[in-house]
Structure 1
Amino acid sequence: MNMEEKELEVYDVIRSIRDPEKPNTLEELDVVTESCVEVRPLPGDEYLIIIKFSPTVPHCSLATLIGLCLQVKLQRCLPFKHKLEIYVSEGTHSTEEDINKQINDKERVAAAMENPDLREIVEQCVMEPDD
């Protein structure tokens, strides 16, 4: 499978994630697009997946939550070994550096998923429409 196919496979997983506040998917809101996914081979049979998403507004309070949803859904759904880096697209958010640090900090992600309220929101966002 070439990188382009891998990128499409990753995009297929994340495009149906729902926005935490709207009934739309991240794809419908242009938060994620096919071009926001990059896959690079790593040594062994592992891949580095880089996702750059664009919040709907520069002060979006849910950008961290969207990053968490991306993280959770990919960890569950991808059939191949991978490392994940998720970023807010440059210039699309007023606190992009803080958000990028939070989303890519394994301990913070784990702590967030221990919060029952947060976890419930994430579960609703990542649920497949057919579930």
Structure 2
Amino acid sequence: MSFFSDILRDVKDPEKPETLEELNVLSEESITVSRLTGDQLLIHVEFTPTVPHCSLASLIGLTIRSKLQECLPEKAKVDIKIKKGTHTTADEINKQINDKERIAAAMENPNLRALVKECTTDIDDTYY
């Protein structure tokens, strides 16, 4: 099994019933894993929003980060980016979704936290 199928395959889109994989926002090829030093891993995820002006791109990035943080060891470094040329404000969103303070502030919002949890909960988890 691949890293992708183990962790990110079932992450759902925030406004559509499909997963990010089904919408071609994420694919196995868009995720790379490398070792930085010792036990520390670098997980690089590049995603492609469904449209160049996607208003939920930052939420998608936050959802991907949340799922990875839930499943990975603490020593993993996560770098999430919008694929170059696929979103009109990619640089600004890339800064947001890789800034620890902005991430922490976003996750303090109970409505946003609930939406992220809804997108990252596996279908099988909802029955237990």
After TM superposition, the score normalised by the length of structure 2 is 0.93
Aligned residue-pair number: 125
- Provide the C-alpha distance between the structure 1 equivalents of 2:94 and 2:5, rounded to a whole number of angstroms: 19
Identity rate of aligned residues, in percent? 56
Task: Establish whether residue 78 from structure 1 lines up as the match of residue 72 from structure 2.
Answer: yes
Alignment of 1:1-131 (within 5 A): 8-79=2-73, 81-131=75-125
- Provide the C-alpha distance between the structure 1 equivalents of 2:81 and 2:44, rounded to a whole number of angstroms: 8
- Stretches of 4+ moved more than 3 A in 1? none
- Give the root-mean-square deviation of aligned CA atoms: 1.3
1:100 aligned counterpart, secondary structure: helix
> Where does structure 2 lack aligned partners over 5 or more consecutive residues?
none
- The answer to whether the 8 Å contact 1:36/1:51 transfers is yes
Pair 10,106 (structure 1): closer, same or farther in 2 beyond 3 Å: farther
Pair 120,80 (structure 1): closer, same or farther in 2 beyond 3 Å: closer
> Where does structure 1 lack aligned partners over 5 or more consecutive residues?
none
Pair 90,53 (structure 1): closer, same or farther in 2 beyond 3 Å: same
1:52 aligned counterpart, secondary structure: strand
